[in-house]
Structure 1
Amino acid sequence: MPHSPPLARRDLLQAGLDLLDQGLSVFDGELRLVAWNRPFLELLDFPPELAEVGRPFADFIRYNAERGEYGPGDPEAQVAERVSAARTCSPHVRERRRPNGNLLLLRGEPLPNGGFVTLYSDITEQRYLEDLSEHQNQQLDERVRRRTAQLENANAQLRRANAENTKIAAALSRSEARLRLINDTVPMLIAYVDRAQIYRYVNKGYAEWFSLAESGIVGRAVADVVGSEVYAQVAGNLQRALAGERITYEYRMPRAGQTAYAHSTLVPEIGSDGQTLGAFVFAHDITEQKRMQAALLQAQKMEAIGSLTGGLAHDFNNLLTVIIGNLAALEEQRGSDPAIGDFVAPALQSARRGVQLIRRLLTYSRQQPLEPQAVDIARLLADLARLIRRSLPDNITLTSPVSSTEASDLFALADPALLESALLNFALNARDAMPGGGCLTVSAEAVELPADAPETAEFDVPPGHYVSIAVADDGCGMDAQTLAHACEPFFTTKRLGLGSGLGLAMAQGFVRQSGGGMRIRSEPERGTQVEIVLPQTAPPLAAAPSLASPAPAANGALVLLVEDDNEVRRVVRQQLIELGHPVIEAENAEQALAMVEQISDIAIVVSDVLMPGSLNGRQLSERIRHNRPQMRIVLVSGYADDAPRPGDPPVLAKPFTRQDLARALARTEQESDA
């Protein structure tokens, strides 16, 4: 293949620069213009005649100052200020608003021998040309044809100027070195591929992207350089570009042990005969952008779970109030009957587990306050082991190596019910991972995590003393892809109906909310270990022995029960009657206000917080207290956002027992006496 004359190579490089979507200018150490491209003039609205080799940098500043580009002030003072700053140019990136409203991103880099190169990007529009219209394609074709004609004319001039070839070649050699420096400085991956899919040019950034030297790419086939995985993604796009179509796409590749993403635009080069000679490649790294998109998607999932859980809690707790209330009454009245007791006890146990499930969901969505306390980890694991053994098949052995010497130090600050629930979830997952049998190990120990320990960063916790609890199995394990998604909400590898995909996600949320951290280690066919660390705390002080206080005696005061759900109202009414209170009922706050005004004997109001109508339970209590300050009020709620507030009456969470209701009523009596 014959070599092109030097001037042709310079024009070819200039043509390539003019195809960039970004503006480019290069000034030498004397602040005189050395190189530029057409987008530079267009983005900054400079007249073409202003751009010529050797033009002082001050002329461009003066042109902008005289048309008010830098605001009011003395134009010559503005010129002097900016020229002085340019002489000490350092790497910089800044944004600049043009008078026409366009926003430009300026990236400047000093050159080794003085001067600087500046890259201008119009960031008011999308950076990448994905959906060019047919009209734009025609414009591009016309531009290429014009450039081809210019190249042919330049070749003719070179032939006529053959006698000056030596001098021109030396000048072009310097120009090529400058353009190479510019291309290597531009923060973009640039390459040129001929019609045989052979690399003919790559810049420094492109070579570094594939961890190769530039000399190790030029002359090699695309498939050999990028590898089979990447080539399978880009082959179709490359063929379309070499057929004359300008195309934009994304691809991924393994890089530095992680998955990297690139956004690439292929611009075909069309010869004078209409045939495609090759394609320019303009690409850049979008890995961080992809990471941010994934983080946003995860945040949106979490927001959706929080919204769903908050509404679910109210309705589900109403159902549990009815279920537990009726079952508790049945157990109290007929508990000695074996035909009934054998069925009521497990039903009550399951209903109460439903209460814990709702608490876990609310904690995970950050709508339920934790109830942290000093938890005796050794005792909790012992109780948990007894519970787990009943659900394990005979071919799975359970070990829990916690020594007696360690037991006295194993106190963690956490919500005991949620901790037990999380560990039970880990154990059941381990059981499901060993269908053919194996060993399940639940262990705990006190650990110190200093600031420089890798575990501190891995758990993402501050330095300090922690209790580590690990649940390990030797089951089927997880591959890297499954492990990466294991804690995502709704992600599960179990068959439909066997898993919700929320267990690990909720456990991780609870642990983080408790000030701890969680990590999972797993390999296919080598088992899984789930380890959590929770802040270590001192054992609780021994409480003085006291006799259990009986439920407060009722004083027969008239109770107004305000509840819109008929079944819940029936259960609570029965509990109040059993406590010795006569009861009247209202379905909403408006009815309740009317009854309070008309019936002076009402001494206590028990009201749901969330009700239909213009007033909720809190607003109802405020109205009643304004008119009758001595009125005793108890609020009941099954909703996540109905936690007690300063100045509120007692708030009783659904579902509750008759004893819970009695204690709440007694508290209102004590407060009214005070």
Structure 2
Amino acid sequence: MNPAPPLPDSTQRHEMLQAGLDLLDQGITVFDANLRLVAWNRPFLQLLEFPEELAQIGTPFEHFIRYNAERGEYGPGDREIQIAERVAKAASFAPHITERQRPNGRVLLLRGEPLPHMGFVTLYSDVTEQRYIENLTEHQNIQLEERVRRRTAQLENANANLSRANSENTRIAAALRRNEERLRLINDTIPILLGYVDKDEVYQYANKGYSDWYGHPEGAVTGRAVLDVIGPQVYAQVREPVKKALAGQQVTYEYQMERRGQTVYARSTLVPEITTEGETLGFFVFSHEITEQKRMEAALVQAQKMEAIGQLTGGLAHDFNNLLTVVIGNLAALQDHRPDDAEVNEFVEPALQSARRGVQLIKRLLTFSRQQPLEPQAVEIGRLIGGLAKLVRRSLPESIAVSTDVASGTVHALVDPGQLESALLNFALNARDAMPDGGRLHIATRAVELSADAGAFDVAPGRYALIEVADNGCGMDAATLARVYEPFFTTKRFGLGSGLGLSMAYGFVKQSGGGISIQSQPGQGTTVLMVLPLTTPEPDVDRPADEAPLAHGGELVLLAEDEPNVRRVVRQQLIDLGYPVIEAENGAQALAMIEQIPDIAIVVSDVIMPGGINGRQLAEQVLAGHPQMRIVLMSGYADEAEDGASDLPVLAKPFVRQDLARALQKANKS
């Protein structure tokens, strides 16, 4: 194996650093304590449109200000006063970051930092096209390669001139050392990971940010092989891009690595250094971290998945409600026709109970998936937790034991039940992820009195419903616990969590007038404590109409429903209530029958039907021509059934005969 080549001398290092500096898309200047120019790069002259002859070592800062004043950049006013003010401000230099619009319309971001021995360094960035930088990457890299070639030729010419100036060698060597220190300071300050790798895959240069990224001390990267610095895991991902760069091809790629216990992502561009003879000497590395960008992309994908699930759930709910209408309607009819048949009821009653549980399950899924916020109401917390526990048990593996402890008396809180269920389910799923090998999940509630010093919840004194969700999982350290409410923050791998669950739960609880506190330690599990304001539910008022026997009518009913099985069930329910029935398969057919049969008194119609006329359009056209006619709508969509925009009664599927009778009574009164 050939020994590693000797490290470059200080002149070569200066040239390499200056070449890398000129490759940046940002302008850089360094002025000493006497406000004289000691270092710059070509982008500085291009961004501020200064002539090259103005940029010389030792050029006073005032010359640049005067040049700008003479070309009218400072507006009207005494030119000498404007120049003096800007020079005085530079002399009393303070760190700053500012934006400035150039006369040509470009917007520059200026960042100034002091140097250890007085003087200052300024970084000029063109941020006008920042949003479009990814689309311009290829074009910029071509320009970057061209600047490398041009600068290489200039440095070769400068090296020849330096060789002829033997009497200046000592002074120039000292100046180069000072410039090297300044350039290193500049490279260590800019937020880019910079490095240079030779053709033997050995680092010849790396700035401080590059060393920190891979966990090496400053200066410990130079002279080491790429594999040794970045490790086998990362090297396996970058092996092919490195080969392409050493073959003379510019390449951009992304990679991931484990850093301080977290998975982080970076994007790198390798720009080969090629001689005029076509020989590749090595390549420059320009890298920056994209972990947060990846997290945002993952969060967006998760949000799109949730939106798709919500839309899918709504459509499935309609179909399932139609199916359950048939199942419940037939079972209820069988039970009504054979009320004293114990053998029949032995089979019918469990089937009815299971079908009704299916109705509740669909309602719960719709609650989780709906996009608009629900209205807060008085919720009995113990009953809600009892129902949710059944869903949680089905969602968790058998290795996790679920237990509940609700208060002996009823505890009501003024809260959105769907939002509360969603928050509690999120806590339970987080607990599941914290107990991969099994454990215990406990959910409890009780009424508590909070005093003025209840600082953990940040709520006003008063009576609250306390909900506790505790697990004995892996727990969280203090650093993680401090960020649990941050949107998009998650410790889960990409694709397994959006980082929005706890932040949304926190916002929901605060909007409900409550508070939340999370207690956790590594290896000790996690306990979520949530308080919500207590409320007194409105007393149930017995409605005489519900107690009275349901009226049976003899009026002719037109039933419009496109599903044959649903139509058959509803027709039988109407017949059992004493109504003669005629049927239509769609809205157009129903309209034609209404015009031909004057005895029709009531229309019972599904909301969603094929044929171009839905139930609401049918109702509008019928009432326009027959205002005395009564209409009852049916819908398998929860949103349609809850829509209060119309005065017409909307009967939510599935329903039984008594529900239909009440809807007909309501239509009679309207």
TM-score class normalised by the smaller sequence: 0.7 to 0.9
The AA in structure 2 aligned to 1:259 is T
The secondary structure found in structure 2 opposite 1:655 is coil
1:422-469 alpha-carbon deviations (Å, 9 max, x no partner) = 999999999999999987755445579999999869xxxxx9944325
1:108 maps onto 2:104 in alignment: no
Between the aligned partners of 1:432 and 1:13, the Cα distance in structure 2 is: 49
- Return the match for 1:609 from 607, 610, 613: 607
The aligned counterpart of 1:467 is 466
1:168 maps onto 2:164 in alignment: no
The aligned counterpart of 2:68 is 61
Contact residue 518 and residue 530 of structure 1 kept, 8 A: no
TM-score (norm 1): 0.75
The aligned counterpart of 1:407 is 408
1:305 maps onto 2:306 in alignment: no
1:154 maps onto 2:155 in alignment: no
The aligned counterpart of 1:656 is 655
C-alpha change, 1:442 and 1:7, in structure 2 (3 Å) is: closer
1:622-673 alpha-carbon deviations (Å, 9 max, x no partner) = 3344444444322221124423233431222111111111112222323x3x
Between the aligned partners of 1:62 and 1:631, the Cα distance in structure 2 is: 85
Contact residue 21 and residue 41 of structure 2 kept, 8 A: yes
Between the aligned partners of 1:158 and 1:140, the Cα distance in structure 2 is: 26
The aligned counterpart of 1:638 is 636
How far residue 549 of structure 1 moved from its aligned partner, in angstroms, is 0.8
C-alpha change, 1:598 and 1:482, in structure 2 (3 Å) is: same
1:481-516 alpha-carbon deviations (Å, 9 max, x no partner) = 878866679xxxxxxxxxxxxxx99x9899989969
1:537 maps onto 2:534 in alignment: yes
C-alpha change, 1:205 and 1:59, in structure 2 (3 Å) is: farther
The aligned counterpart of 2:124 is 119
The aligned counterpart of 1:180 is 184
Tell which deviates more after alignment, 528-537 or 203-212: 528-537
The aligned counterpart of 1:345 is 349
- Return the match for 2:14 from 3, 6, 10: 10
1:263-310 alpha-carbon deviations (Å, 9 max, x no partner) = 112223345775544332211121221111111111111221222223
1:354 maps onto 2:358 in alignment: yes
Between the aligned partners of 1:602 and 1:243, the Cα distance in structure 2 is: 86
1:596-626 alpha-carbon deviations (Å, 9 max, x no partner) = 4555443332222222344332233333444
Between the aligned partners of 2:423 and 2:337, the Cα distance in structure 1 is: 35
Contact residue 521 and residue 529 of structure 1 kept, 8 A: yes
The aligned counterpart of 1:263 is 267
The secondary structure found in structure 1 opposite 2:547 is coil
The aligned counterpart of 2:323 is 319
- Return the match for 2:245 from 234, 241, 247: 241
Structure 2 unaligned spans of 5+: 475-489
Q: How many residues align?
A: 636
Contact residue 32 and residue 38 of structure 2 kept, 8 A: yes
The AA in structure 1 aligned to 2:271 is V
Between the aligned partners of 1:486 and 1:449, the Cα distance in structure 2 is: 37
The secondary structure found in structure 1 opposite 2:621 is helix
The secondary structure found in structure 2 opposite 1:610 is coil
Between the aligned partners of 1:217 and 1:451, the Cα distance in structure 2 is: 57
Tell which deviates more after alignment, 415-424 or 205-214: 415-424
How do 1:138-537 residues align onto structure 2 when only pairs under 5 Å count? 144=148, 147-270=151-274, 275-334=279-338, 336-338=340-342, 340-367=344-371, 374-378=378-382, 400-401=404-405, 406-408=407-409, 410-412=411-413, 443-445=444-446, 465-470=464-469, 533=530, 535=532, 537=534
1:92 maps onto 2:92 in alignment: no
Contact residue 559 and residue 584 of structure 2 kept, 8 A: yes
Tell which deviates more after alignment, 542-551 or 633-642: 542-551
The secondary structure found in structure 1 opposite 2:578 is coil
Contact residue 252 and residue 259 of structure 1 kept, 8 A: yes
The AA in structure 1 aligned to 2:618 is L
C-alpha change, 1:633 and 1:58, in structure 2 (3 Å) is: same
Between the aligned partners of 1:78 and 1:621, the Cα distance in structure 2 is: 82
Q: Percent identity?
A: 54
Contact residue 299 and residue 498 of structure 2 kept, 8 A: no
The aligned counterpart of 1:568 is 566
The secondary structure found in structure 2 opposite 1:58 is helix
Tell which deviates more after alignment, 415-424 or 303-312: 415-424
The aligned counterpart of 1:495 is none
C-alpha change, 1:648 and 1:334, in structure 2 (3 Å) is: same
Between the aligned partners of 1:393 and 1:45, the Cα distance in structure 2 is: 67
Contact residue 413 and residue 514 of structure 1 kept, 8 A: no
The aligned counterpart of 1:621 is 619
TM-score (norm 2): 0.75
C-alpha change, 1:196 and 1:76, in structure 2 (3 Å) is: farther
C-alpha change, 1:438 and 1:333, in structure 2 (3 Å) is: farther
1:218-240 alpha-carbon deviations (Å, 9 max, x no partner) = 44444444344434433443344
Between the aligned partners of 1:601 and 1:589, the Cα distance in structure 2 is: 18
Tell which deviates more after alignment, 538-547 or 305-314: 538-547
1:60-88 alpha-carbon deviations (Å, 9 max, x no partner) = 6358758xxx9xx6598799499849747
The AA in structure 2 aligned to 1:12 is M
The aligned counterpart of 2:487 is none
How far residue 553 of structure 1 moved from its aligned partner, in angstroms, is 0.6
Between the aligned partners of 2:400 and 2:551, the Cα distance in structure 1 is: 52
Tell which deviates more after alignment, 540-549 or 286-295: 540-549
Contact residue 249 and residue 271 of structure 2 kept, 8 A: yes
C-alpha change, 1:107 and 1:615, in structure 2 (3 Å) is: farther
1:200-226 alpha-carbon deviations (Å, 9 max, x no partner) = 333233334345541344444444443
The aligned counterpart of 1:498 is none
The secondary structure found in structure 2 opposite 1:326 is helix
C-alpha change, 1:437 and 1:175, in structure 2 (3 Å) is: closer
CA-based RMSD of the aligned residues comes to 5.4
C-alpha change, 1:62 and 1:527, in structure 2 (3 Å) is: closer
Between the aligned partners of 1:601 and 1:567, the Cα distance in structure 2 is: 26
Contact residue 23 and residue 144 of structure 2 kept, 8 A: no
Between the aligned partners of 1:393 and 1:211, the Cα distance in structure 2 is: 39
Tell which deviates more after alignment, 549-558 or 464-473: 464-473
The secondary structure found in structure 2 opposite 1:354 is helix
Structure 1 unaligned spans of 5+: 458-462, 490-503
The aligned counterpart of 1:493 is none
The secondary structure found in structure 2 opposite 1:156 is helix
Contact residue 562 and residue 586 of structure 2 kept, 8 A: yes
How far residue 574 of structure 1 moved from its aligned partner, in angstroms, is 1.8
Between the aligned partners of 2:387 and 2:69, the Cα distance in structure 1 is: 82
The secondary structure found in structure 2 opposite 1:407 is coil
C-alpha change, 1:473 and 1:157, in structure 2 (3 Å) is: closer
Between the aligned partners of 2:455 and 2:493, the Cα distance in structure 1 is: 20
